[in-house]
């Protein structure tokens, strides 16, 4: 049964990631809720699962002229630094605290998206 959960979770998170919305919003909760993985393990798996999907999405977006490599160097460098810092901070937190922070983050994003989505019509 777990393999089916992994396949469905991976597929759905891939679709979400391919649209640029972050597949971890599906994958991390699915792994913690349905497979019983710790928050740390789920987030680590999410980072690894993200890489192939990101490469494929990047190729498709580049092919369609939606990527300007000249403008993103500072974003890549600061993102790598932030990811390093975030991973180190996550390792200092208990799985329970990390899970609550992740849930709060998703809740805040949902509220922001709901509010700004209505204004952008």
User: How far is Cα 114 from Cα 108, in angstroms, rounded to an integer?
Assistant: 10
Percent of all residues in the chain with a pLDDT value above 90, rounded to a whole number: 40
Q: Which segments of the chain are extended strands (E)? A: none
Any idea what DSSP says for residue 20? T
The mean pLDDT of 2-28, rounded to a whole number, is: 83
38: phi > 0 → left, psi -120 to 50 → alpha, else beta; which? beta
Which distant-in-sequence residues (6+ apart) come within 8 Å of 46 by Cβ?
A: 13, 23, 24, 27, 28, 31
pLDDT (tens digit per residue) in 70-118: 888 888 899 999 999 999 999 999 999 999 999 999 899 889 888 888 6
Is 43:27 a contact under the CB 8 Å cutoff?
Answer: no
Backbone angles phi, psi at 66, to 5 degrees: -100, 10
pTM assigned to the model: 0.75
């Amino acid at each position: 049964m777990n393999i089916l959960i992994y396949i469905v979770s991976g597929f759905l998170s891939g679709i979400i990631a391919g649209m640029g919305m972050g597949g971890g919003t599906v994958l991390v909760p699915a792994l913690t809720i349905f497979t019983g993985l710790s928050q740390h393990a789920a987030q680590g798996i999410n980072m690894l699962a993200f890489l192939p999907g990101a490469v494929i999405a990047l190729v498709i977006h580049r092919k369609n002229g939606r990527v300007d490599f000249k403008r993103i160097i500072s974003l890549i460098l600061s993102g790598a630094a932030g990811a390093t810092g975030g991973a180190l901070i996550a390792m200092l937190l208990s799985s329970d605290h990390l899970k609550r922070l992740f849930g709060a983050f998703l809740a805040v994003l949902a509220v922001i998206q709901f509010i700004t989505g209505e204004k952008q019509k």
